[in-house]
Amino acid sequence: MIRRDITLEDGRPGWALVSQVEHARIAMEMARAWSDAVFALPERREEFIAAVYHHDDGWIAWELRPTVGDGKPRDFLEMPIDEALAIWRRSIAVARNDGPLAGYAVSTHFATLCGRSAEEKSHDPTWKYLAEEFLEEQADHASDWRRDLVAQGMPPPTVDVQTTLAWQSLRLFDLLSLWLCCAERREPDVVGIGEFAEFQMTPQADEGGAAVIRVDPWPLVGRSLELAVACRTIPAGDYPTDAALSEVLQGDACRDARLTWRLVP
């Protein structure tokens, strides 16, 4: 779940709670609208787009009963290691159903995130042990899925190119969607992955309730792309227990809302 700082209609500070599944859908919509102007998506395009769409499906069960940490609804960056790994494994299992390229992309995406987190948490022996176990497991899966692609007729050199392209592209669409969903943007920013692909994201004046974002270089089909996610808003405050959060989410203080954007060249 994404916890986004907002101001409620009555002027009080609040949080917009955005589902990881909704965030993934936005990433998929950008992938679906991709024109290959910056780089071409993987050859197994529909399988790749399915991977983007489902890469956070492991969150579905958790988001039905979200938990708190330090008095706040847990943001996706604040999850305990055991819960995070369980969610990632569920996401990978869902992606594998779409094909070996999808499984490889989602598995490598989360293995990369896990490796970086393990470096940051290297002082924690439990974190280190669980992370190493997860990384070994995903390396085995990746080898299996590469063999599956070869067995399905993809030459080994092409497998190297396509699997790398798939997980890097997934990471890019994930970053672009997170940039939109995690906070209100008022300043220009560069979003992307080093030499792979980067975009200048420049907020413009809002139009019709939508946050207008100019994207350079323009990588999408058409002259604009409308995006929106459903979310729930609650007052910011101290939620001491999971039950306290659940009570607020089921009460009148919780409101349904939408975040909307218009991407333009």
Give the position of tokens 């280190």: 128
Q: Confidence class of residue 133 from pLDDT cuts 50, 70 and 90?
A: very high
* Nearest-angstrom CA–CA distance, 98 and 112: 21
Q: Confidence class of residue 120 from pLDDT cuts 50, 70 and 90?
A: low
Contact in structure between 210 and 204 (CB atoms under 8 Å)? no
The residue range of the domain holding 181 is 2-264
> Which pLDDT score, from 0 to 100, does residue 118 have?
65
> Which pLDDT score, from 0 to 100, does residue 109 have?
97
> Which pLDDT score, from 0 to 100, does residue 37 have?
86
Percent of the chain with pLDDT over 90: 89
Q: How many domains does the chain have?
A: 1
Strand 189-193 to strand 72-73: parallel, antiparallel, or no bridges (unpaired)?
A: unpaired
Residue 196, pLDDT > 70, answer yes
Give buried/exposed letters for 13-41 (b at 16+ CB in 10 A, else e).
Answer: ebbbbbbbbbbbbbbbbbbbebeeebeeb
* Nearest-angstrom CA–CA distance, 259 and 211: 8
DSSP alpha helix (H) spans, the chain: 20-32, 45-54, 60-64, 81-96, 100-120, 125-151, 156-182, 242-249
Residue 209, pLDDT > 90, answer no
- Per-residue pLDDT tens for 19-34? 999 999 999 999 999 9
Strand 72-73 to strand 68-69: parallel, antiparallel, or no bridges (unpaired)?
A: antiparallel
